[in-house]
Amino acid sequence: MTQNPFGQTHENMHTGPVSQQMNHGGHELFDVHEALSSTVGALNQAMLLRQHVKDPELLAILDRQYRFTLDEYNITVDCFKTGRDPSHPTKSYEMTQGNDFVYGMKPMQPTKPMQSESEISDEIISGFLLGSAKTGASTKTMAAMETCNPVVRRVLADSVPNCIEMAYELAIYQNKHHYYQVPQLAQQDMQQLLNSFAPAQGQPGMPNNNLQ
């Protein structure tokens, strides 16, 4: 996360110079509010689900992601309210899972909605957590693209890869336990798709569209 590298001043056409604290556009306020609300929802959900986790490995993932997300939430609130650098830069989330997926499908019971709270399981909990990480990546990406304040934009943009990494960690966990199965195409079909693009050759010039 970096400070405004250009040192530019900001003005409102009606009121003149804008303080760094008020350096926010309308879309930015709404979209960052949505991103922060989504993060609060994800943190609250993780807190409620924690007591139902049975697998120590999933519990470790939940706790590690919760702590990281809470810290990231705090620094986002900090720079959003002040328009300045937060207390510390955005960190990079590092998962502890390997990155090997098990491919192929095995027979499974069809999924259906729960009928009672007693049916909650590690499969359902990890699915909730995965959904929250995906939502975080989407809302923060949308907010960053609407953000005027350079500090807030950078904090949000730096947070997106962390959401992706958390989602990847949870997807691998689910795959390992056969909650999330990954089918593959037949080798011939896969090879055809892999070879369906070729690199461009050379550096051709742009068309010459000189206007007379």
> What is the torsional sign of CA 79, 166, 168, 37?
negative
Q: Please report how many Cα atoms fall inside a 13 Å half-sphere around the Cα of residue 158, on the Cβ side.
A: 20
The DSSP secondary structure of 107-160, one letter per residue, reads --PPP---SSGGG--HHHHHHHHHHHHHHHHHHHHHHHHH--SHHHHHHHHHHH
- b (16+ CB within 10 A) / e for 94-120: ebeeeeeeeeeeeeeeeeeeeeeeeeb
In the prediction, which pLDDT does 27 show? 73
- pTM, entire model: 0.83
Tell me which of 92 and 5 has the higher pLDDT: 92
In the prediction, which pLDDT does 127 show? 96
Which of these, 29, 55, 31, 43, lies nearest to 133 by C-alpha position?
43
The torsion of the CA quartet 151, 154, 155, 158, rounded to 10 degrees, works out to -170
In the prediction, which pLDDT does 210 show? 63
Given a contact cutoff of 8 angstroms between Cβ atoms, the answer to whether 168 and 182 are in contact is no
Most distant CA pair in the chain, distance: 76
Which residues, in sequence order, are CB contacts of 163 under 8 Å at separation 6+? 133, 134, 136, 137, 140
> What is the torsional sign of CA 161, 162, 165, 167?
negative
Tens digits of residue pLDDT in 165-199: 999 999 999 999 999 999 999 999 999 999 999 98
Given a contact cutoff of 8 angstroms between Cβ atoms, the answer to whether 28 and 143 are in contact is yes
In the prediction, which pLDDT does 24 show? 61
Percent of the chain with pLDDT over 90: 63
In the prediction, which pLDDT does 29 show? 86
Percent of the chain with pLDDT over 70: 85
Name the band, by pLDDT with cuts 50, 70 and 90, for residue 20.
low
**Average of per-residue pLDDT values in the chain:** 86
Q: How far apart are CA 145 and CA 133, in angstroms?
A: 19
**Which residues lie across from 17 on neighbouring strands?**
11
Name the band, by pLDDT with cuts 50, 70 and 90, for residue 212.
low
Tell me which of 144 and 211 has the higher pLDDT: 144
Which CATH number, 1.20.1260.10, 3.40.30.10, 1.10.599.10, 1.10.10.10, labels domain 24-98+121-178? 1.20.1260.10
pLDDT at 62 over 80: yes
Q: How far apart are CA 134 and CA 138, in angstroms?
A: 6
Given a contact cutoff of 8 angstroms between Cβ atoms, the answer to whether 151 and 1 are in contact is yes
pLDDT at 5 over 70: no
Length of the chain in terms of residues written: 212
In the prediction, which pLDDT does 15 show? 44
Least confident range from 10-14, 187-191, 203-207: namely 10-14
Tens digits of residue pLDDT in 40-58: 999 999 999 999 999 999 9
